[in-house]
Amino acid sequence: MNQMRTILPVEDMSPGELRHAEQLRAGRLAVWRNVLLEPEYQLGEETFRLATNSTTKRIDPNLSLVQVTMRSENFGFTITLAEAFLLDCLEGISTLTSISGQTGPDAALILEQFFRTPLEEFSNLLGEYPEIVRIAPAEIATLGRDDFQFTISGDQGGGSMCFIRFDGALEDRVFERLGAYSSADEKEVEPQLEVRIGPISLPQTAIANLRAGVILDCGVQPTDTIRGLLVRSDNRYWPAHINDGEVVATAAIQPLDYSNARHSGLALITLGFGSALMGPLERLQFGEGDTIAIERYSDNAVEIYANEHQIGKGQLVVHDDNLSVSIEQVDLV
């Protein structure tokens, strides 16, 4: 069995080796804390969520920890987490009162039920499925710079800080793969996107004339291909075509930028009429030609934007055969 990799004590490293080790560690921490995980998985009736983070959070020194060692043919790693949390999660499928004292196949099979979905994701990443080979008590003192932190939380209130440590070359292999699934930008974006019709260009001076009761013509018939935007919470968007209950991206993601319109004395009107949900991994891979289902707001409601500001609300209607908005409320700042 491969031994866990250790990093030489500082006093045994040359200045160049120390600098390289610190740079490597800092780079991997940046990748790790921005890994885009699937948001949740199911075990019985409880939903669990995983999130990576940098190694800056402290763990309660009074917690009883358990270390689960897993191996496949070519690699191995250990996960350390709170024993009480694990026992709570396994309640209903196990009568165990202690995890750390169990080393037999029955205990391993029970734990694999808890770890099953993360292990499947991990095996998809590396091409091998690991099995639990050892369960033992752990101490905080054993956790060091080779460990990467993540959290597991359940929708019924429980949670645990966790630590994972990889065998030697496995860490290199993991981070080679994780680079494609790590993004600081995507980590912070909300999953809900707004679907808007537009933009419709109006003279900036015409905005003052918008009021309740005015009909705003979108310039297309309902049966036409409708141009629109799929807008993210970070003020970037995909240009899109709107077709019934879905949108198709027509170009790569780009920032919402109204500077050219302002310089030309124009306001760009967009009409939010629905939403879509997209997880971080899907967003990372979404691009021109990709399609996503949308859910329209009830009663044909729309939110009216002039450039970056929401200025009112209305309702989609057909007026003179064209798709239009009947303005119900205007709030010009």
Residue range 273-329, pLDDT digits in tens: 999 999 888 998 899 999 999 999 999 999 999 999 999 999 999 999 999 999 999
Mind spelling out the 3-state secondary structure of the chain? CCCECCCCCHHHCCHHHHHHHHHHHHHHHHHHHCECCCCCEEECCEEEEEEECCCCCCCCCCCCEEEEEEECCCCEEEEEEEHHHHHHHHECCECCCCCCCCCCHHHHHHHHHHHHHHHHHHHHHHCCCCEEEEEEEECHHHCCCCCEEEEEEECCCCEEEEEEEEEHHHHHHHHHHHHHHECHHHHCCCCEEEEEEEEEEEEHHHHHHCCCCCEEECCCCCCCCEEEEEECCCCEEEEEEEECCEEEECCCCEECCCHHHHHCCEEEEEEEEEEEECCHHHHHHCCCCCEEECEECHHHEEEEEECCEEEEEEEEEEECCEEEEEEEEECCC
Q: pLDDT tens for residues 53-104?
A: 765 667 777 788 888 888 888 888 999 988 888 877 777 555 555 565 555 5
Average pLDDT, integer, range 216-242: 93
pLDDT of residue 250: 97
Summarised one tens digit per residue, pLDDT across range 7-49 is 334 445 577 666 777 888 888 888 998 988 765 777 777 788 8
